[in-house]
Amino acid sequence: MQGKVHTMSSRVFDGASVSLDRQLSMIRFILRNNKKGVKFDEIDFHMTVNHGVSDRWVSKFLKKWAGWGVVTQRGQKFYVDVDQWGKVQKARETGLDVF
């Protein structure tokens, strides 16, 4: 008996081929909801529907951005540290290869 086929499987891929635009879309999505925070499954749903990425991708890049101090997790929700986000943006403008 065959397993259930994921209908979006043709659109889903892992982090290796994910563009910076998709990463920034994830950050902007969290920022838009920064006051109340965003749960992982909400981020996953947003990124899957709009960008065709998998939850493995979301997890990988949340960790990456958390490592830079941009994304923080409090309880079940994720937030963006606006000050740290500003520093990353400034570093990019001065030509540092932060991504």
pLDDT at 99: 55
Q: Dump the DSSP string for 17-74.
A: G--HHHHHHHHHHHHHTTTT-EEHHHHHHHHHHHH-B-HHHHHHHHHHHHHTTSEEEE
Q: What is the CATH number of domain 18-93?
A: 1.10.10.10
Task: Write down the pLDDT at residue 1.
Answer: 44
Domain boundaries, the chain: 18-93
Q: What is the pLDDT of residues 9-26, one digit of tens each?
A: 334 444 445 678 889 999
Whole-number pLDDT of residue 32:
96
CA distance from start to end of the chain: 44
List, in sequence order, every residue forming a beta bridge with 71; answer none if it has no partner.
80
pTM here? 0.75
Weakly modelled stretches of the chain, pLDDT under 50: 1-16
